[in-house]
Chain A
């Protein structure tokens, strides 16, 4: 712990801290462009100059200077002031004065810092350098004349995204940032460079010229594009969410968000269900709420308890609880959330949870991936694995080989390998202090995989004092909440199909195989006209996650709350109120009359949902049918076929469709063109 003084304030800083960090600890603001606490240090913008004694009598770049015992740091001397003004003036020699037409305006580091630390006028009247725009794909728009060569984007691509697509060509004044031959960035994390770029060189292409930051209403929300539960901020104006930005949460998403999180928003205003529909003569016909309710109530009365509810991937706990209450009031407990037919054992929630926690992945020293394309199923857990590898972890994989942006020792695609791990793995795990297994939710589809994976708890010593390395990664934002609320049948959705319910509610469930429900009266409550609405007999327009308050539980069992940013379009209503009104129409009582009442009832039923943070399940491996394990074997298939089109919102989003065709199917497109 070196002791230093900053502007006369004595302060002890952690070992390995830089002078810049010491100044921050002392509460001094240090302007910077290239330094970013999550990236390596480049030291090339020189904006962070301070005066340090002992040392040469000139300003020093504080971001790249280690803090050492007895340093006297000054950030308030004339030398520092002049130095900052000088650097600012240099940076502005070639920076265009196009703030009025720049999307970064209002949230631009260069703007802010030139106001705070610049001279206020320019002494240069020579021509400015101009740089041609570079194509970087459907997400990132470039105006390269604005670039100040801080190299944050390059370092992000290399270090965090693991895709070395961005680089700097030429040198000196001619230096230009570009992607390789101006191809689209081949990363699902590309949008983050937009946030990182301190100027307006990299801006968001789908959001180009949409709004100024100060016109936007900011709502704190939770991302529902995958099971990670990234903390996000919805920026909306009027009735439309215009963009999504990540919020910092060190335990979940750090400060990143993937492109699906950021850019699905244009799907929120397309293909929306905005009025009820009732099927008449084989066709869905627009109806009033009363007509729709009457149609359902008629079936409900004759169903005599033969009622089921199936939840999709983007359903909040409140909606699921309301549906559960309704189904219960109608005399049934057929609930299921694993819409694609998974039927793993859920008698112990800890056994299907991401137990090490997401942040805990960084501490692992040996990781075995079982049937998980982590890069697509949970991109922000994948970045944690990259961090673990930097700290020396080794990663092994069972499943189809995919590019996860890091080196994986693949054993092959045969589930039976789980029970007889190759020697390379057992050796590596023997010495591991923090061994970890990550089971992809999709892999649990195969008979015996769950049991075999749980067998590894013992053989690989995954659980020890203060460490639980048994992890299941779910791709659905509603999965853990659904399991906590009992949305699981022993045999999965197949049990419900076999029970042939007279009346079935589908809560935003678009991935269900509807052919099994031909005899049921299908009520779809959701927000997008996707597969579920097409199959339904009655469609009730609900609210998307952005249009309601909700409780979400991520794949590590973390309970988080999301707020309502905008109103649902047209006649659509919040799902809980639909279910509440439906209860009246059916003449049953669900026990709540308001959203607060619903939430209170839900928390009484499942107290963990009332506490923000990890739900903290007990962990014990359930006893599984040994017969299933006998059948262990066969090829594992990943659940996600197209990263950008995994749910109804994305499928409605032009940006996501463009990403899919250009980034994932770009090669095919080129071939077709030739």
Chain B
């Protein structure tokens, strides 16, 4: 429970975010999400709207964005949902931030496959840059969170930084990613050892014929 997010002081967030409203573009985008669902079922749009709101807050604060209470209530009002139901969604999913984060939100996967493949090294690289779990660095650049499996275990260990995954990490490659980000450069997204998606390391070893055509292997089955 100790690392459950501390929701920031209500009065302060209300003063800062009480006047939150969609930008014209986001208003359109929000409506597009709502229109996907039949009338009366607009609550189904709660997740994309929260994401949109978090991004808008992010754009305004030059961070990954978070969801202050008035913003959550703004979404609730738009979808005609009880506030409690919306904050439940926000608190359930780790990708919604209930407290402010830095410009880069480093989510290190620490679940078993990643852990066996060296997530401790990845964390070490983060610690070396002065990060602490659940905290933002003083320069406002990085927030470190340890999360459970992000579904890229084949490329373990991995981190998710804002919208991108960085995979097949070592302590060194993680350090260089962080350096790049800090310097405003875009690091290579995805595998850091040059493999394509989650293909086998060293390239494909089976079903190679599939590369050229939709090869029918059935005749070769013994």
Contact = CB atoms under 8 A, between A and B. Distances in A.
Interface stretch (B25-33, B78-86, B137-145): B78-86
A179 interface: yes
A167 B84 contact: yes
B180 interface: no
B103 to A, nearest CB: 25
Band of interface residues on B: 10 to 19
Contacts of A174: 1, 4
B69 interface: yes
Interface string A143-169: 000000000000000000000111111
B1 A130 contact: yes
B47 interface: no
Interface string A113-137: 0000000000000000111100000
A498 interface: no
Contact of B10 (A132, A166, A171, A181): A181
Given A169-B91, A170-B91, A179 B1 contact: no
A168 B90 CA distance: 11
B92 interface: yes
B87 interface: yes
A595 interface: no
Given A164-B82, A181-B10, A181-B69, A169 B87 contact: yes
Given A170-B91, A171-B92, A181-B69, A164 B84 contact: yes
Contacts of A180: 82-84, 87
B88 interface: yes
Contacts of A130: 1
Contacts, number: 33
Nearest to B82: A164
B1 A168 contact: no
A179 B1 CA distance: 18
Interface in A179-209: 179-181
Contact of B84 (A129, A166, A170): A166
B116 to A, nearest CB: 22
B67 to A, nearest CB: 13
A170 B85 contact: no
A631 B88 CA distance: 53
Contacts of A129: 1
A221 to B, nearest CB: 35
Interface string B1-37: 1001000001000000000000000000000000000
A210 B84 CA distance: 32
Given A168-B88, A169-B88, A170-B91, A131 B1 contact: yes
A164 B4 contact: no
Contacts of A170: 4, 91-92
Contacts of B4: 170, 174, 176
A96 to B, nearest CB: 14
Interface in A379-404: none
A169 B92 CA distance: 7
Contact of A132 (B1, B83, B88): B1
Nearest to A145: B1
Contacts of B84: 164-167, 179-180
A167 B1 contact: no
A407 to B, nearest CB: 11
B85 A167 contact: yes
A480 to B, nearest CB: 37
23 contacts: A129-B1, A131-B1, A132-B1, A164-B82, A164-B84, A164-B85, A165-B82, A165-B84, A166-B84, A167-B85, A167-B87, A170-B4, A170-B92, A171-B91, A171-B92, A174-B1, A176-B4, A180-B82, A180-B83, A180-B84, A180-B87, A181-B10, A181-B69
Interface of B: 1, 4, 10, 69, 82-85, 87-88, 91-92
Given A165-B84, A166-B84, A169-B91, 4 more contacts: A129-B1, A164-B85, A167-B88, A179-B84
Closest A-B pairs by Cβ, 8 of them: A164-B82, A167-B84, A169-B91, A180-B84, A167-B88, A170-B91, A171-B92, A180-B83
